[in-house]
Amino acid sequence: MSLESLKTANLQILSQLEEVLEQLHAQDFSMPLDILSGNTIGMHVRHVVELYLEFFTGIAEGEINYDKRKRNLTLQEDLDTAIWALKDVKTQVKALHNETALLVKSCFVDSEIIQLPSSLSRELAYNLEHSIHHMAILQICFKQYFTKLILPVHFGVANSTIQYQTKNVYAELPASS
């Protein structure tokens, strides 16, 4: 997948999330939900946004450490701030133009920091899949608690799943005569 294709895919997913958040009431964004073990929609959105923000910081520094995200409570408590941050992330995604090598640092076990070689495209793909994963969780919340929301058709569904479902739906249809 080319950098341009990855940018397009990320922009589509982020726009879907923004579209749904714009339908949500501010108090619902920060309301603890049983289905999320008391966590909130805002916490998931903050997490998605902050990984992108660490990605952009990492591009500038040549290394990314997603563990260093700020955990900005305003992003998870204030719906307008979260929507603004999503718009900003989209603007930064649009501005990406050169492939570059990156180093990813993370602590997976105990306090050992592991360093992995990566690239701008690889980390953009990671953020795409990470966002879809959190949107899949949010889709469950929206369908359970906020049934009046209009979700995009493939909200929280990976492209590979969409392709698989499309292929199998058409394979099962009777041949036209």
CATH number, position 57: 1.20.120.450
* CA 58/CA 53 separation, integer angstroms: 8
- pLDDT (tens, 9 = 90+) of the chain, 177 residues, equals 699 999 999 999 999 999 999 999 999 999 999 999 999 999 999 999 999 999 999 999 999 999 999 999 999 999 999 999 999 999 999 999 999 999 999 998 888 899 999 999 999 999 999 999 999 999 999 999 999 999 999 999 888 887 888 887 656 656 654
Residue range of the domain that includes 9: 3-172
pLDDT for position 109: 83
pLDDT for position 80: 98
Find the helix or strand (DSSP H, E) in which 119 lies.
strand 112-119
* CA 32/CA 82 separation, integer angstroms: 17
pLDDT for position 176: 56
Q: Would you say residue 146 lies in a domain?
A: yes
Contact between residue 91 and residue 18 where contact means Cβ atoms under 8 Å apart? no
Cα–Cα separations (whole angstroms), residue 157 to 30, 53, 108, 119, 150: 24, 23, 26, 24, 15
Q: Would you say residue 114 lies in a domain?
A: yes
pLDDT for position 136: 97
Q: Would you say residue 50 lies in a domain?
A: yes
Q: Would you say residue 177 lies in a domain?
A: no
User: How many domains are contained in the chain?
Assistant: 1
pLDDT for position 172: 61
Q: Would you say residue 137 lies in a domain?
A: yes
Q: Please, which residues have CB within 8 angstroms of residue 171's CB and are 6 or more apart in sequence?
A: none
Q: Would you say residue 139 lies in a domain?
A: yes
* CA 94/CA 104 separation, integer angstroms: 22
pLDDT for position 175: 61
Q: Would you say residue 60 lies in a domain?
A: yes
pLDDT for position 173: 56
Q: What is the pTM of this model?
A: 0.90
